[in-house]
Amino acid sequence: MKFSRFAALFSKECRQIVRDPSSILIAFVLPIILIIIFTYAVSLDMNHLKIAVILEDDSAPARSLAGAFLANSHFESRVSADRRAFERDLVAGHIRGIVIIPRRFGEKLRQGEIKPLEVITDGSEPNTANFVQNYAQGVWAVWFGQHQALTGGTLTPTPDSETRIWYNPELESRHFLLPGALALIMTLIGTLLTALVISREWERGTMEALLSTAVTRGELLLGKLVPYFLLGMLSLTLSVAAIILVFHVPFRGSFLLLGASGAVFLFSALGLGLFISTVAKNQFVACQIAFLAAFMPSLMLSGFIFEISSMPAWIQYICNIIPAKYFITCLHSLFLVGNVPALLIPNMAYMAAVGALLLGLTFLLTRPNLE
């Protein structure tokens, strides 16, 4: 192990990164695109739900109820008297649900009898359907309460409940999506990009020339590891700055710990990337494996969007292997809660262990010759 040889490989790799537009694209442009998308395009909170309100009854209470739906900020409602007109819209996906205020609704209400509202949702998007159902329930409950109060009201229901949301009182989903996106960005740099770079050296024949010099495999691996590590940290800094300064996600932990957890996660991602690239000597296979083993899991199985505890047990086992899951937990806490040692320490230790394991394996599998 000699520093000057490592330094030579290091500066070579840096120059290559700077000169290839695609690595700049992945390290700096795509992160910004992802951040913008997760800010604007992905929101798990629903507004602007398009629904149709079918007014089969023309009485005053029915019209007042329909008015409540029209006034609700979650819904964009259209009112009509005929339900058939909307069935096609539901099939086409133009509306997400139909609320039907049934015939003789007002008449029955006056007799003290309540005819149930019918709600038809588009079950092909269950999440949206749930929201339609819950919001409709809310509109109905509020309207009913007001109606009761007007018509000689009853006492407030008890026990009443008071809801307090800690850490993210505005319930902004981007407050947890954006920090989570950091894990995705680091996976792209750490695994996808590095998986390609060693297979590229094999394909272009530069590996043979490198192997014929005094270089050792430790230097070879470090020469790849360190530049991409720095690139990843740089991209992390840029992304964090964008998230906090431009998109105003609160940050409550310490930057030092954020840097440290980013570093250990990057370490594990780079370990995986280098491991893939020693196993696959061509870029097509390397990219397929990186996509399958790194990108998709950190999108789907990391708790980034989908709640791990709701998944079947066998998938939860898979999730527990994935370093991104541990990084995302750290990120959520650092951004929204603060320094929570009980979470940060074990999670960071796990990521470091995975990185060390993968790099160790890579070291063992890297051959110092052409055999």
Is residue 349 a contact residue for another protein (CB under 8 A)?
no
- Say if residues 53 and 101 touch (Cβ distance below 8 Å): yes
Q: Which residues within the stretch 182-241 sit at the binding site for another protein (CB under 8 A)? A: 188, 192-193, 196, 200-201, 204-215
Q: Which residues within the stretch 309-348 sit at the binding site for another protein (CB under 8 A)? A: 309-312, 315, 318-319, 329, 332-333, 336-338, 340, 342-343
Burial 102-140 (b: 16+ CB within 10 A, else e): eeebbebbeeeeebebebbbbeeeeebbebbeebbeebb
Sign, CA torsion 240/242/244/245:
positive
Smallest gap from Cβ 120 to another protein, in A, equals 5
Q: Which residues within the stretch 43-102 sit at the binding site for another protein (CB under 8 A)? A: 43-50, 76, 88, 90-93, 96
Q: Which residues within the stretch 111-130 sit at the binding site for another protein (CB under 8 A)? A: 114, 116-130
Smallest gap from Cβ 352 to another protein, in A, equals 20
Residue span 153-182 as binding mask against another protein, x where in contact by CB under 8 A, dash where not: -xxxxxxxxxxxxxxxx-xxx-xx------
- Say if residues 183 and 298 touch (Cβ distance below 8 Å): yes
Smallest gap from Cβ 305 to another protein, in A, equals 7
Q: What is the DSSP string of 288-312?
A: HHHIIIIIHHHHHSSSSSS-GGGS-
The CB-side HSE value for 71 (13 A sphere, CA atoms) comes to 11
Smallest gap from Cβ 248 to another protein, in A, equals 15
Total residues at interface with another protein (CB under 8 A): 137
Q: Which is nearer to another protein, 205 or 256 (CB)?
A: 205
Choose, by CB under 8 A, the member of 2, 75, 217, 298 that binds another protein. Answer: 2
Sign, CA torsion 168/174/177/180:
negative
Smallest gap from Cβ 147 to another protein, in A, equals 11
The CB-side HSE value for 324 (13 A sphere, CA atoms) comes to 31
Q: Which is nearer to another protein, 238 or 356 (CB)?
A: 238
Choose, by CB under 8 A, the member of 60, 85, 141, 321 that binds another protein. Answer: 141
Smallest gap from Cβ 271 to another protein, in A, equals 20
Instruction: Give the orientation angle of helix 217-241 with respect to helix 3-19, to 10 degrees.
Output: 50
Q: Which stretch binds another protein (CB under 8 A): 62-70, 147-155, 252-260, 264-272?
A: 147-155
Q: Which residues within the stretch 12-41 sit at the binding site for another protein (CB under 8 A)? A: 12, 15-16, 19-23, 25-26, 29-30, 33-34, 37-38, 40-41
- Say if residues 327 and 236 touch (Cβ distance below 8 Å): no
Token digits of residue 157:
């229901």
Q: Which stretch binds another protein (CB under 8 A): 62-70, 232-240, 261-269, 281-289?
A: 281-289
CA distance 98 to 92: 13
Residue 241 amino acid letter: A
Residue span 237-276 as binding mask against another protein, x where in contact by CB under 8 A, dash where not: ----------------------------------------
Choose, by CB under 8 A, the member of 136, 236, 272, 359 that binds another protein. Answer: 136
Q: How far is CA 73 from CA 125, 135, 173, 184, 356, in A?
A: 21, 10, 18, 33, 51
Instruction: Give the orientation angle of helix 341-365 with respect to helix 217-241, to 10 degrees.
Output: 150
Smallest gap from Cβ 267 to another protein, in A, equals 22
Q: Which is nearer to another protein, 12 or 78 (CB)?
A: 12
The answer to whether the bond into 169 is cis (omega within 30° of 0) is no
